[in-house]
A and B are shown apart, each in its own frame.
Chain A
């Protein structure tokens, strides 16, 4: 009885740990087979890159402008009005838009739009036994399917971050204008606080987010089972796991960046 209960509690934990381990192994195999010749994934890389670009640019534009206008824009402006310090909104946007909202919203949109498409695509191929057929025909699915998606998502997420930051700042500009403020002081406090560390920190973070999205979504797609229903389940799990992984990683990364670069803690 005790053994049964222990096993029942232990089994989900073990499955979870095994799954995390499998994803780590997949990450390792992806990186080594990306570096080791031959490099047959060029065409697939370009098509995946353009696919993500085409799918994500508009949802990302709407999301970043809207959330930056609403959250750090209107809400923080309301708070700053008490001190008559609406010009400080620029400084807040360095913290909010560049360091956090830009990267996180990019990751959420990429996971929701491109990541789910990857899981559904690979999942359907797995169900139709295409992936097995590929392996039997001597084609390594990791090298030919996972590697191009991994590289394309890293690049596209990193680049989209810049785009998200620009439109996020535009949201801030809107908030200033709505409050009848001149834009000079906004840019002034923004550039006083912004440092190169903020920019590369943000770019590196989103690139790693892209890698996380690609690995989780490819893994969930390639391990889908149980017919059409299984593909649906895989997509659902892919999104949940990606979000958990991204936000957990964001915490660790932010903590590390702040600890190693204390100068960005100083508010000017």
Chain B
């Protein structure tokens, strides 16, 4: 155990208590950069959270501003301030259970923040009326954790679904787009297969194809590497990079796999305990002095993060 190096509140005060203070004290952790909050006292839980956002030189496509979200008594996002740059592959990395998937659901408006705001391309997602939110969602492609393919349709129909739903394209045009995307992800001849006949990796690739058919401006990946072997993970990462080079757009990848981060990321945000520890261009973060960032990005057992 690494008790000595951990910053656990020795008084045994639960996270909830110190949180009350944090929630009100947003000014200590401004959206972009700014001085790190004073450590100690109720803030000791966040002593490594400098919240520093190293400049990328690119405007942010997606911004989280002081977002709080609880599920029952589980306070997942605790004043999250995060910016994800336009046109780059950003990675949100952090230990399990720190609210990474919850972030994605906030971006597409499947969850609403209890407090704070989520801004995508200048529009506040939580305050959009339903009709506009549906329009907005056409700009998104989302790859869910297990692909989230529709079990009642074969792969071809799954990939064609967004086109049939949102465009007036003829079946020939749809077939052209779908086949191109399916070939791109290496599933050119699997169109007739049903999702339950596929391996996890194939389901993910099919989900990826489906998320791309509408040529989205923003593509979100929820743990594309979970449940895949290292080789498949590497191949999927290559694929993400290739597709990004070809199509451009803002890609947001959620992962806790450092190898994937090294391969793909142009921008990294390290999330822990519902807040950003540090964020910035990938190369700079890998050289960070922050003990938590260093521990997590090198995958060491010694450091601020323990088994809790």
Interface locus among B1-9, B26-34, B141-149, B249-257: B141-149
Given A128-B146, A129-B145, answer yes or no on A135-B110 (Cβ-Cβ < 8 Å).
yes
Query: Residue B110 contacts which of A125, A128, A136 (CB distance < 8 angstroms)?
Result: A136
Given A136-B110, A137-B137, A138-B137, answer yes or no on A129-B161 (Cβ-Cβ < 8 Å).
no
Are B151 and A137 in contact, CB atoms less than 8 angstroms apart? Answer: no
- C-beta contact mask, A124-144 vs B, less than 8 Å → 1, else 0? 110011101111111100000
Complex CA gap A130/B145 in Å reads 11
Are A130 and B165 in contact, CB atoms less than 8 angstroms apart? Answer: no
Are B148 and A128 in contact, CB atoms less than 8 angstroms apart? Answer: yes
List B contacts of A124 (CB < 8 A).
Answer: 151
| Nearest-CB residue, chain B, relative to A225 | B71
| B24 interface hit (Cβ, 8 Å) | no
Are B142 and A128 in contact, CB atoms less than 8 angstroms apart? Answer: no
Are A130 and B137 in contact, CB atoms less than 8 angstroms apart? Answer: no
| Nearest-CB residue, chain A, relative to B101 | A129
List B contacts of A135 (CB < 8 A).
Answer: 108, 110, 137
Complex CA gap A134/B165 in Å reads 10
List B contacts of A136 (CB < 8 A).
Answer: 108, 110, 137, 140, 142
CB distance from B278 to the nearest CB of A (A): 29
Given A130-B151, A132-B110, A133-B150, answer yes or no on A138-B145 (Cβ-Cβ < 8 Å).
no
Are B165 and A132 in contact, CB atoms less than 8 angstroms apart? Answer: no
Interface residues on chain A, number (Cβ under 8 Å):
13
Given A128-B151, A129-B144, answer yes or no on A137-B108 (Cβ-Cβ < 8 Å).
no
Are B148 and A139 in contact, CB atoms less than 8 angstroms apart? Answer: no
Are A139 and B144 in contact, CB atoms less than 8 angstroms apart? Answer: no
Complex CA gap A132/B147 in Å reads 11
- C-beta contact mask, B121-160 vs A, less than 8 Å → 1, else 0? 0000000000000100110101011101111000000000
Are A129 and B148 in contact, CB atoms less than 8 angstroms apart? Answer: yes
Complex CA gap A136/B134 in Å reads 8
| B116 interface hit (Cβ, 8 Å) | no
CB distance from A104 to the nearest CB of B (A): 33
Are B146 and A129 in contact, CB atoms less than 8 angstroms apart? Answer: yes
Query: Residue A138 contacts which of B105, B110, B138, B149 (CB distance < 8 angstroms)?
Result: B138
| B37 interface hit (Cβ, 8 Å) | no
List A contacts of B105 (CB < 8 A).
Answer: 132
| Nearest-CB residue, chain B, relative to A124 | B151
| B200 interface hit (Cβ, 8 Å) | no
Complex CA gap A129/B143 in Å reads 10
Are A130 and B148 in contact, CB atoms less than 8 angstroms apart? Answer: yes
CB distance from A265 to the nearest CB of B (A): 49
- C-beta contact mask, A63-83 vs B, less than 8 Å → 1, else 0? 000000000000000000000
Residue picked from A128, A134, A137, most chain B C-beta under 10 Å: A137
Are B110 and A137 in contact, CB atoms less than 8 angstroms apart? Answer: no
| Nearest-CB residue, chain B, relative to A137 | B162
Complex CA gap A138/B213 in Å reads 14
Query: Residue A133 contacts which of B134, B138, B142, B166 (CB distance < 8 angstroms)?
Result: B142
Complex CA gap A124/B146 in Å reads 13
- C-beta contact mask, A177-201 vs B, less than 8 Å → 1, else 0? 0000000000000000000000000
Complex CA gap A134/B105 in Å reads 13
Complex CA gap A133/B148 in Å reads 6
Complex CA gap A139/B148 in Å reads 14
Complex CA gap A80/B207 in Å reads 68
CB distance from A261 to the nearest CB of B (A): 42
| Nearest-CB residue, chain B, relative to A139 | B165
CB distance from A30 to the nearest CB of B (A): 15
Complex CA gap A225/B166 in Å reads 29
Listed by A's residue number, 6 A-B pairs whose Cβ atoms lie within 8 Å are A128-B148, A129-B145, A133-B150, A137-B165, A138-B138, A138-B166
Known pairs A124-B151, A133-B150. 13 more at Cβ < 8 A? Answer: A130-B149, A132-B105, A132-B142, A133-B142, A134-B150, A135-B108, A135-B137, A136-B108, A136-B110, A136-B142, A137-B165, A138-B165, A138-B166
8 cross-chain pairs, A with B, having the tightest CB-CB distances, nearest first? A133-B148, A129-B148, A129-B144, A136-B142, A138-B134, A137-B162, A136-B108, A130-B148
